[in-house]
Structure 1
Amino acid sequence: MIKDILLVIDASPRTDPIIRAACGLAERVKGTLTIEILSAGPMLIPTLAPMTAAYVPDVELVHDEADRIAAVTAMVAGCGATVRVIGIHDDVPRLAERVGKGGPIADLILIGDADLWAVGWLRGRIAEAVIMGGGTPLIVLNGAATLDPVHHAVIGWKDTSEARRALHDLVALAAPHAKIAVVAIARNEAALPKLAEGMKDVVRHLSAHGFEASAHALPADGQNVAEALQDFALREGADVLAIGAFGHSRLREVVFGGVTLALIEHARLPVLLSR
């Protein structure tokens, strides 16, 4: 059951849409929301972060942090859930380390897409650190997304411990009797029968929880897995796409590319990442 929600944002006003979305979710589940605002020193060239950080006296960061905390606190004053707003200020590399390893404990963590952040590197590092070390599911939202009840979901399936964790997290998040499509993407046609067989127990498990579950083994048709999963989810009108994150090693994802990093960087609908 989702009751304790953490939203991580930076001090940019561009994050206002997901603040409202997070408040709406906290109200709906009758839970609590913590909004963690990160105030980083300016970057001379943000695309080269963290190498071009400019020195700013700590007192200036404290002032900027206080202004944004006051603005966000005023924005959420009418929220029907309990909301606390906290700030962390530091330089960009230390912020990523502090938030990833020592953030508040929560049932669910929310983060916006890259367009909502002043420094994309900081957002990416925080998302990866939360997934790798936090033990808490992460939802990536784009600026237009809302957090409506999950009546229709897609879970990308590959039988790994990470995918099974995503399955359990999705069961906790989905509305009763939701439609859940279990989707496996095959590199070639020959792999389709084995993938279909491997999803039967997933469908059984979801059905035991009262969900309307179905299995779909699909060819990649020249797409990468992240593209194929998102295209399927959007065609089906899904509220959320869930996957097990970093099923390969973090190094392999960086060197060769991977589903997790692609979805962190280019989420076209709410994406639930679990590990």
Structure 2
Amino acid sequence: MVKDLLLIVENSAHANPIIRAAVKMAERMAADLTIEVLTPSPVLIPALAPLTTMYVPDWAMADDHTKRSKQISDMVAESTATIRVVGLHDEIFALARRTGRAGPVADLILIGGEDLWETQWLRRHASETIVMGAGSPLLVLAQGDELPPVQNAVIGWKDSPEARRAVHDLVALATPDAKITVVTVGGFADEHRVAAESAGEVVRHLIRHGLRADWEQIGSDELSDTQTLEAFALENDADLLAIGAFAHARLREAVFGGVTHRLLDKARLPVLFSR
């Protein structure tokens, strides 16, 4: 059961839609909400960050953060949820490394999509830091809409510790009697047999938790695994897509890209990343 939410936003008016969505989620789930505001040193050209970062004294960033925190506190003042506004301010490299590794503890961390951030570099690197080091699942709400009650979800499955963690995190979010489809993508004959065995165990586990679960093996054709999973979830009107994050070696992810990076940046529906 999720009772403690943490929303990560940049110190920018771009974040207002995701703040409102997170407040609605907290009210619906009867959860506490912490809003952590990241105030980086200014960037002359956000698209070129971090190359055009300017030096600003710490006291100036602290003052900027205080003003923005007051604006957010006023925005959420009438909510019935318990909400607190905290923040970090630092030069952009340090801020990306610190996010999610210390400070608030939460059941679930929320972050908005690219359009809800002014500095895309900070969003990408903060997201990776959260996934790799926060110890809590990350929910990306790319469109800035709140997550509805999870009655229909898809989990991308390839047996790994990260994917097993995603199963547990999804159970905590799903409504009673929710439909969960365990999906494996592509694979040769031997891989198909192994996937069937492990996916069958996941289905058994989900059913034991009172959920309606089944397994589907789908081909990727000319699409990437990411596109195939996302397309399947959208075609089946899923409320949420869950995956184990960075299940491949980081070098392989960095060189070839991967499911985690593509969905962190370009998801068209809510995506839950677990590790």
TM-score by length of 2: 0.95
Q: Contact conserved, 2:143 with 2:269, CA < 8 A, in 1?
A: no
* 1:248 corresponding residue in structure 2: 248
* 1:185 corresponding residue in structure 2: 185
Alpha-carbon displacement from aligned partner over 1:201-249 (angstroms, at most 9, x marks no partner): 1111111111111111000011111111111111111111000001012
Q: Contact conserved, 1:5 with 1:32, CA < 8 A, in 2?
A: yes
* 2:55 corresponding residue in structure 1: 55
Offset, 1:151: 0.7
Offset, 1:54: 0.8
1:215 is matched by which residue type in structure 2? Answer: W
User: Structure 2 matches for 1:149-188, cutoff 5 A?
Assistant: 149-187=149-187
| 2:270 matches 1:267 | no
Offset, 1:103: 3.2
User: Structure 2 matches for 1:15-54, cutoff 5 A?
Assistant: 15-54=15-54
For residues 148 and 79 of structure 1, the distance between their equivalents in structure 2, rounded to whole angstroms, comes to: 18
SS at match of 1:175: strand
SS at match of 2:172: helix
Alpha-carbon displacement from aligned partner over 1:147-187 (angstroms, at most 9, x marks no partner): 11111100000011100000000001111100101111014
Offset, 1:133: 1.2
* 2:125 corresponding residue in structure 1: 125
For residues 156 and 68 of structure 1, the distance between their equivalents in structure 2, rounded to whole angstroms, comes to: 38
Offset, 1:56: 1.9
For residues 197 and 2 of structure 2, the distance between their equivalents in structure 1, rounded to whole angstroms, comes to: 32
Q: Contact conserved, 1:189 with 1:219, CA < 8 A, in 2?
A: no
| 2:16 matches 1:9 | no
Choose 136-145 or 156-165, whichever is displaced more.
Answer: 136-145
1:237 is matched by which residue type in structure 2? Answer: D
For residues 37 and 99 of structure 2, the distance between their equivalents in structure 1, rounded to whole angstroms, comes to: 10
For residues 45 and 14 of structure 1, the distance between their equivalents in structure 2, rounded to whole angstroms, comes to: 16
User: Structure 2 matches for 1:63-78, cutoff 5 A?
Assistant: 63-78=63-78
* 1:104 corresponding residue in structure 2: 104
1:213 is matched by which residue type in structure 2? Answer: A
Offset, 1:25: 1.5
Identity %, equivalent residues: 52
Q: How many residues align?
A: 275
For residues 100 and 152 of structure 1, the distance between their equivalents in structure 2, rounded to whole angstroms, comes to: 28
Alpha-carbon displacement from aligned partner over 1:118-149 (angstroms, at most 9, x marks no partner): 11111111111111111100001113422111
For residues 98 and 209 of structure 1, the distance between their equivalents in structure 2, rounded to whole angstroms, comes to: 36
Offset, 1:102: 1.4
| 2:258 matches 1:258 | yes
SS at match of 2:56: coil
Runs of 5+ consecutive residues of structure 2 not aligned to the other structure:
none
1:40 is matched by which residue type in structure 2? Answer: P
TM-score by length of 1: 0.95
* 1:233 corresponding residue in structure 2: 233
1:207 is matched by which residue type in structure 2? Answer: I
Runs of 5+ consecutive residues of structure 1 not aligned to the other structure:
none
For residues 249 and 100 of structure 1, the distance between their equivalents in structure 2, rounded to whole angstroms, comes to: 21
1:272 is matched by which residue type in structure 2? Answer: L
Q: Contact conserved, 2:149 with 2:175, CA < 8 A, in 1?
A: yes
Alpha-carbon displacement from aligned partner over 1:86-108 (angstroms, at most 9, x marks no partner): 12211111111222421311111
